[in-house]
A and B are shown apart, each in its own frame.
Chain A
Amino acid sequence: MYFGLSEEQQFFQESIDKFLEDIVTVDALRAYRTGEDEQFIHLVYDGLNELGLSGLIVPEMFGGLGLDTLFAISVAESLGKGVAPYPFIGSFLIAPFLINELGSDSQKEKYLPGIASGENRFAVSLSEMTGRRTEIGIQNSNEKLNGRSLFVMDDVHSTHYLIIDSDAGVHIVDADESGLEKVELSTVDITSFISELILDEVKTEMIGSGSGNIDAIKKAINLGRVALAAETLGASQCMLNRSVDYAKERKQFGRQIGSFQAVKHMCAEMASELEPCYSMVWYAAHSIDHIPHEADLMACQAKAHLSEVGAFVAKTSTEVHGGMGFTDDLGLHYWFKRIGLNRQLLGSPDLLREEAAAAQGI
């Protein structure tokens, strides 16, 4: 019996952490935000792809590494820790997962190698499946899509869109297809890429068979939720680490602020909330591959719980930094906002708890 990350997973995390510490600095994020450095996100994209992230879960026969969910989730943790502006969850988890589960051999052949190499860049639209708002709706009639999709994930220099319609049909749409209009949505979190799509008689290529897709889509959403939870875990851990470092360094009243119980206890509360979250995220990831009857519940609860713990850590760690925590100079807010965005994607905690209750017949 062993419950934890493997040596290989930990080494892999370390190499991602190191890369992100060097490249995704607060100065770099600021320059990117103000438009002074347009190369930045390409640098991040190419660097992480080189480490193998684009092909992480793509089967080896299609040029990927063929790794499992726990591996993918451990990577997401590192990406959150380093607030990577990188389209991992949509482009490199959900898209290849669904294409591999539902696609024909020729579709897999056509798309998966390009995903693994980083040439095919898929944004994903799941807004028909979770947190559906009245202003959206995507209809498929005779392989033509019409309607509107909100909160398309990972839409950055996209070559393709993976879109789910109101009948759970799964579509691949070429980004240059006529009738497709993309509206970039700026969110609080500049490290994420969110857009809205307006579709008018857009030609699509369907994968899978409509109603038979539900299980695969559910599994893809579980994967996305656990990955978001893992990102939040990593981002929260980074905020706690920075708080502890700051509390050791900063002096007031002639002593390190970390020697005051008021500050100490904030840090202890964050650590106490975060420690069990590692196990929860790992277990949820493990359940997706190995304990399927627990996967729906674990995915909902892991993301709901991490969203709450993340919000607590984001607020508390900002407070530990005092006024500096509020500044752009220190840049702690990039983590705060990543946690805030993840909280709402693929289901806010309140909705997820309702779903969790339903999943167990409560």
Chain B
Amino acid sequence: MKKDNPLGWRIKMNLDFGNEYAEFRNEVQSFCKEYKGIHVTGSLYSYESVIDPNEKPRIEMDFKEWQKILIERGYHVRHIPKDYGGFGGDLDIVKNVIITEEFSKSKIPTGVGGQGIDFLVPTLLEMGTEKQRQRYIQPALHLDEIWCQGYSEPNAGSDLASLQTKGELVGDEWVINGQKIWTSTAKYAQMMFCLVRTEPEAPKHQGISYLLIPMDTPGIEVRPLVDMTLDAGFNEVFFTDVRIPAENIVGERGQGWLVANKTLVHERGSLGDPNKMIRRYDKLVNLMKSEILDGVRIIDKPVYRDRLMKIQGKILALKSHGLRLLSGRLNKGQDINLGTMIVKLYGTEMRYELESLAIDVMGELGTLYNDSPHLRDNGGWQYAYMYYLGLIIGGGTSQIQKNIISERGLGLPKEPKIQGA
């Protein structure tokens, strides 16, 4: 396991982005000043309560309007061409980092991603036709069209490639029958990108196509799926003779697995963002300072403090790891392969540990829910404690992550295949 692969670069540790970015940072800072105290309304996406609930918002703005401002100023979807509704800048990772850092410092919400922007748009940019890009990217970026992802099925979870929702080409239409599950935002979405088995005779990975389905097509039924948080964050989607135009396919017939895998990688990487984790940690510290038991602040009780410090140790490791991953993207030749693979596992397990400590800090109060009196922070900890267990499972369970790490990262042998599976 060679850690890093020196390809002849004579370069030493340095954490400066260089002078050329100082001006950009100034620019971002003055933008943040302009919008400090903003409260974004109307969104179905959570902005992870960037402003303190006790703070009175200085500016209120509808989420679509905020998204447009961010895109116009180049602080969101920077590298997506102007023709498709983006800013048309170059793909500059450092600038993205500066934007995230400065927004985070000023507690200003960054632009919204979601399934459409994070997964569909990059897929179309890489594999879509020109017509598809023209039609779908701009409305997705501006949140005029919300997308949902139709991947998992009741019998195709970790073994996603065994999915059975059927698509048949009849004349110039796909006829779709079957069921999807764990479809977040399906209730609001206008569109779904969906994996459908179109070549039943082919081996399982080669029989799937990537289809784009308008959610108002007759034959689609969306049923909310209540999860342990008692929210209906997910849905089941049923397809009965759903007919969509033949041209609503990305890539060729049977290429769907390949098309989808491009975006699964993005999904996993996004779950270990150290900036979010640090903000959450800071909130936990505040909670521990404000909760008082027998006249003593929880944070002054050594047992609780030790648990906090253990979590901080892991966060500092993850924060440093983020620098290494960034460095690996900026410096070709630095090997961050294994380092990238562990992020989903590490990040979600750690986040759960953090939320669990908050529950214990509150003790009995940590069991209150909904609109009970005595709730702290609007019950956000209770919600997150359960929600993050969901994230350990969703997007490739921790156990699947461990298979990936051990087989692709450490080179351990695959498990022997059972005949017929």
Contact = CB atoms under 8 A, between A and B. Distances in A.
A117 interface: no
Given A278-B324, A301-B312, A305-B317, A272 B342 contact: yes
Contacts of A3: 13, 15, 320, 323-324, 326-327
A1 B16 contact: yes
Query: Which label, helix, strand, loop or mixed, suits the secondary structure of the B interface?
Result: helix
B403 A10 contact: no
B288 to A, nearest CB: 9
Interface in B1-52: 1, 3-4, 6, 8-18
Contacts of A267: 406, 410, 412
A301 B316 contact: yes
B407 interface: yes
Contact of A5 (B4, B326, B339): B4
Contacts of B4: 4-5, 10
Contact of B327 (A1, A10, A308): A1
Nearest to B310: A353
Contacts of B121: none
Contacts of A1: 14-18, 94, 326-327, 330
Given A7-B11, A241-B1, A271-B405, A305 B316 contact: yes
A277 B320 CA distance: 8
Contact of B406 (A237, A268, A277): A268
Interface in A252-288: 255-256, 258-261, 263-265, 267-269, 271-273, 275-280, 282-283, 286
A282 B13 contact: yes
A305 B338 contact: no
A301 B313 contact: yes
27 contacts: A1-B17, A1-B330, A2-B12, A2-B327, A2-B330, A3-B320, A3-B323, A244-B410, A255-B416, A259-B415, A260-B415, A261-B399, A261-B403, A264-B403, A265-B402, A268-B406, A268-B409, A286-B15, A301-B316, A304-B313, A305-B317, A353-B309, A354-B302, A356-B312, A357-B309, A362-B305, A362-B309
B316 A2 contact: no
Contact of B413 (A70, A256, A271, A362): A256
A353 B323 contact: no
Interface string A285-324: 0100010000001100110110010000000000000000
Contacts of B321: 275-276, 278-280
Interface string B105-118: 00000000000000
Interface range on chain A (Cβ under 8 Å from partner): 35 or more
Contacts of A84: none
A237 B338 CA distance: 13
A4 B324 contact: yes
Query: Which label, helix, strand, loop or mixed, suits the secondary structure of the A interface?
Result: helix
B77 interface: no
A315 to B, nearest CB: 17
Contacts of A275: 321, 338-339, 342, 346
B306 A354 contact: yes
B353 to A, nearest CB: 13
B331 interface: yes
B414 interface: yes
Given A10-B4, A356-B312, A357-B309, A268 B15 contact: no
B14 A2 contact: yes
B299 interface: yes
A8 B241 CA distance: 64
A247 interface: yes
Which one of A261, A272, A283 has the highest number of Cβ atoms from chain B below 10 Å of its Cβ? A272
Contacts of B339: 275-276
A247 B410 CA distance: 11
A321 B3 CA distance: 24
Nearest to B315: A301
B327 A6 contact: no
B11 A6 contact: yes
A268 B410 contact: yes
A42 interface: no
B403 A268 contact: yes
B320 A248 contact: no
Interface in B157-178: none
A167 interface: no
Contact of B310 (A264, A272, A308): A308
B318 interface: yes
A248 B318 CA distance: 29
B285 interface: yes
A264 B306 contact: no
B314 interface: yes
Contacts of B255: none
B402 A2 contact: no
Contact of B405 (A10, A237, A272, A276): A272
Which one of A256, A269, A277, A354 has the highest number of Cβ atoms from chain B below 10 Å of its Cβ? A269
B405 A268 contact: yes
Interface string B380-420: 00000000000000000001011101110111111110000
